Structure 1
Amino acid sequence: MIKRVRTCGAWVYVAAVAVILAGCRGKVAKDHSDEQKSPPPREGEHVMEQGDQEFVVVEVNGMTLTRSDLNEKVWRYIVLQNESDLPPEKLLPKIARYRKKIISSFVTQKVVLQEADRKSISVSEETVDAALSRLKSKLPKGGTLQDVLDKYNKSEAAIRDDLRDELRITRLMGTVTADVEEVTDEEIRAFYEKDKAAFKVPERIRVRHILIDCPADVPDDIRSQRRRKAESCRERLLAGEEFAELAAKMSDCPSARTGGELGTFPRGKLIPAFEEAAFSRGVKEIGDVVETSLGFHVLEVLERQEGGIMPYDEARDLVAVFLNEQKSSPVIREYIGRLRAEADVKYGLESDRLAADAER
């Protein structure tokens, strides 16, 4: 398994999907309500680096990263991490950290891609198509890649370019690590047996719900009406109505568009009252209406995964990836270090050179 060299490429969009399209999952999940907030207007980026936006922060063999480009990449990180609402005193240190990482990653990406150019490493459009299909298959149920691209004002052509670059880098790294021995079955088994506790997985449930929205400050008569509406939904389900169809019609949660499905959770990740009810229910059981700070829920557990030690057959591939990356990483680091040392890299500020070198 080859450890990929990644910068602000396609992986950002995959990760962003989980944040942007999480829907009600982010509300019901404990401590994740901020996932529903939209980022502030662009003018809210007053804490970003000011000055000449065409100032060249770094140049790598003629390829430049301007201050404007850097600000855009940093801002995407901030939005992706749901940090756009932080006050300046908390946001500024994060900006400084992201800035260093992005500058260093830019240098690495450019020297590696330029080496791929020199070695005429390319990928077919069919290969890019397949990678894009795999990326789309990882989106949360009901989510679309276009939702994410629209949010970041990106085109599918741009993400195809990101994927193409990543695939070319992967092929180049494959040639670099061709002589690295693959991990053996004995090594995999020994690693697993040595620390089985590391493969402990918690009990998890897959759950869906119908939410009747009811904020804490609504009058009592409205609260009673909404509870009755939730009770009516429960009765309709007990009478045989299909859950997904009823959720689509009645639920006030964004998850209504996916039949009320929220996903799979271990203990400790949900609003306490919701979690207590969900983990005490049997699979497919329609229990009593549950009240939380969001309102009234009619929930159903679709699947229960018992906790315990992951069996070796399930853990084997994970261990193999980890151990192969351990073997490949030193070779790749040395190779990239040589490419960076041989490249003509010019920094606009000496402080950026020192910071980027520290990130290597």
Structure 2
Amino acid sequence: MYLLIDEKLASNKIQELGIDVSPEEVEAAIEKIKKDNNLTDEDLKTSLKKQGLTYESYRENIKSELERIRLISLEVRSKIIIEEEEIKEYYEKHKDEFTSKERIHLAAIILTRGNPSNQDETISLHREAEEIILRLKEGEDFGELAKKFSQGPGAQDGGDLGFFNTSELDPKLLNVIRELPEGGISKPIIRTSIIQIIKVVEKQERRVKPLNEVRGAIYGILFRERVNNRYASWIKALREKAYIKILF
């Protein structure tokens, strides 16, 4: 029932303030909806038909929605002021929201052990890993060696594995790479079925983003919250002033 009352109150206020939306604005809004949803004219008409709507009734709905948006902007949004102190206070209370996780960019050369119980294969693979390490120490490019020898993911991209949150990594692997600087390369890491040679491409420490980086985001959060609260108060005030007879 309140929804019907609120729609009627909003409609009356729109008329009282002389708010109007032109046919061109309605068409522009519909074109934007089509573009955002990759819809053709036929797609839109088919969708409307499934909802039991004609194109004209849809246009009227869009017009009404645009008028309500304009009303809210006039009566609510334009009267909202977010002070710098409020932004700072929110930032101090919600720093966890603006803290980036510790991340690390890795590349790997992975040698696969077809039969881990085969001692000869294991010795051969260890020897191959040591030869790769030696070539790296002599200055050969990690990416090129990964393309040539790696049998793991990202081999054709020079062994690039991308960024990982450190919390996602296996503790054994994390213990090894934490000791490496950017550009550092691990000794062969022996696993059950593989041998890994890891390169630390880049490290990103956990950091709190400065206020200047997140001021806009905080403003948006506070503004939306204030709009919702102010709109509820505004509608409540209209209800108290209005006399609406509801027929059942």
Structure 1, unmatched stretches of 5+, are 1-117, 132-158, 333-360
Residue 276 of structure 1 and its aligned partner are, at CA, apart by 1.5
Give 1:1-360 correspondences, 5 Å limit: 119-120=26-27, 121-123=29-31, 160-161=38-39, 175=69, 178=73, 180=77, 181=80, 183-214=82-113, 217-293=116-192, 295-327=194-226
Using the size of structure 2 for normalisation, the TM-score is 0.56
Q: Secondary structure at the match of 2:196?
A: strand
8 Å Cα contact 1:202/1:307 also seen in 2: yes
Structure 2, unmatched stretches of 5+, are 1-24, 45-61, 232-248
Relative to 1, partners in 2 of residues 1:236 and 1:327: Cα closer, same or farther, differing over 3 Å? farther
Relative to 1, partners in 2 of residues 1:196 and 1:249: Cα closer, same or farther, differing over 3 Å? same
- 2 CA distance for matches of 1:295 and 1:328? 57
Residue 282 of structure 1 and its aligned partner are, at CA, apart by 1.0
- 2 CA distance for matches of 1:269 and 1:245? 27
Residue 324 of structure 1 and its aligned partner are, at CA, apart by 4.3
Relative to 1, partners in 2 of residues 1:321 and 1:265: Cα closer, same or farther, differing over 3 Å? farther
Per-residue CA distance 1:189-236 (angstroms, 9 max, x = gap):
220022334434443221111111236744222122222222222222
- 1 CA distance for matches of 2:224 and 2:113? 49
Per-residue CA distance 1:118-169 (angstroms, 9 max, x = gap):
9332457xx96xx9xxxxxxxxxxxxxxxxxxxxxxxxxxx8559xx9xxx9
8 Å Cα contact 2:116/2:193 also seen in 1: no
The percent of aligned pairs where both chains have the same amino acid is 26
Per-residue CA distance 1:170-191 (angstroms, 9 max, x = gap):
xx7x957745347554432220
What is the root-mean-square deviation of aligned Cα atoms in Å? 4.0
Give the number of aligned pairs: 179
Q: Secondary structure at the match of 2:107?
A: strand
Relative to 1, partners in 2 of residues 1:292 and 1:310: Cα closer, same or farther, differing over 3 Å? farther
Higher-Rg member (1/2): 2
